[in-house]
Amino acid sequence: MTMKLKGMAAAFVAAASLFAVAAPSHAAAVITNGTVTLGVNDLGQLNVPGPASAGGTPYVGLRYNATGFESTAPGCLCEGWGVGLVSSGMSGYANEAMGTAGLTLVSFASTATTATSVTRVGSALEITHFYHPSTSSNLYQVDVSIKNISGSAIAAGDLVYRRVMEWDVEPTPFDEFVTISGVPAALGLAAGNNIRGTGDNGFASANPLSGESKTISCAADSNFTDCGPNDHGALFDFVFEALTDGATRVFTTFYGAAGNESDAIAALGSVGAGLYSLGQTRTDPVGGTPTTFIFGFGSDGGVLTPPRAVPEPGSMALLGLGFAGLAAFRRKQKRAA
């Protein structure tokens, strides 16, 4: 190991020790890459008990180490994810503030820099969230795998997924400017992409079948820049191609932070995160200082894309299975046109 790598490893361990958290009634982990720190629950959602932030918040959700400011935990632990099958109404979701149901924990494991949560929704779906450092120090990468274990094929448009969070950006929590970018003009599989809906209602349930409003004060299903200030967040709903029994759909989420907006956007571009939300304080929505917080997805024209770097040997097999349906769907669309 080179001296540089040894130094990086030591920095990771030292930073992680600063955020060590006593185990609550369920497993959780506080992980850091030295720049960004996340608090991950065993079901894969953020916001766990931990040392106070620079703003005095005793929970760790998404923090920027340079300032010590927190972005998802002040006031409301409103961050979570959910998955569902439209045809049956079956769903599973996890959100510390807005409710958790329908999920069974298979396993949870963590290191100082990574966390892996594996859950199931009945006997139909197995979901893995793998949190690990990305190629950008400003971003944590979350590789999401949804496996069909139902014993039969899932039709196109039946499988849906939501990730939702409420921005509470210190030092002005409850009063943020929010940006959503990368939303195409037309949404859904018929339009050739995976986006089902977007909005700024960070207080929404993580259940993608809940049917509640996606918005608070900003436009639904469209892009907007520096909307606010208000107490709001970001919601992204996705819909997927057909998935044969045993196949897995893989895509990538990013959480992160930077000292200003230009650095945040550069970080997103470096990892191919074409769909994202930014959360900024009310004091500097243009420059994004002292911290611009980031919530993004690997996306190209609204199509959720796989991890650029394969963290595990089996990932390429998962990728091939997950994208076979999308490739076939796009060929069908072109023939129809």
**Positive/negative CA dihedral, 185, 304, 235, 72:** negative
Give yes or no for residue 260 having a pLDDT over 90: yes
Name the pLDDT band for 33 (thresholds 50, 70, 90): very high
Task: Give the residue-averaged pLDDT of 276-305.
Answer: 96
**pLDDT value at 307 more than 80:** yes
**Beta-carbon neighbour count of residue 128 at 10 Å?**
20
319: pLDDT strictly greater than 90:
no
Mean predicted confidence (pLDDT) in 315-334:
40
pLDDT above 60 (res 26): yes
Report residue 164's pLDDT band, with 50, 70 and 90 as the boundaries: very high
- Report whether 169 contacts 279 (CB < 8 A): yes
pLDDT band for position 309 (50/70/90)? low
Residue 9 has pLDDT above 70, yes or no: no
Is the pLDDT score of 94 beyond 70?
Answer: yes
Instruction: Parse the chain into domains and list their residue ranges.
Output: 80-336
Write down the residue that tokens 């990574």 correspond to. Answer: 114
Lowest mean pLDDT among 50-59, 92-101, 272-281, 303-312: 303-312
Residue 39 host element (H or E): strand 36-41
> Distance between CA atoms of 276 and 183, rounded to whole angstroms?
9
Segment 117-141, tens digit of pLDDT: 999 999 999 999 999 999 999 999 9
Whole-structure pTM value: 0.86
d(CA 23, CA 37): 17
Percent of the chain with pLDDT over 70: 84
Percent of the chain with pLDDT over 90: 82
**What would the mean pLDDT of 279-295 be, rounded to a whole number?**
96
Tell me, what's the pLDDT at 321?
40
pLDDT of 336 above 90: no
Predicted local distance difference test score (pLDDT) of residue 5: 33
304 and 237 Cβ atoms separated by less than 8 Å = no
**Residue 247 one-letter amino acid:** A
Region 88-112: mean pLDDT is 98
Residue 186 CB neighbours (<10 A): 12
Confidence of residue 269 (pLDDT cuts 50, 70, 90): very high
Q: Using CA atoms, how far apart are residues 281 and 58, in angstroms rounded to an integer?
A: 20
Residue-wise pLDDT tens digits, 192-242:
999 999 999 999 999 999 998 999 999 999 999 999 999 999 999 999 999
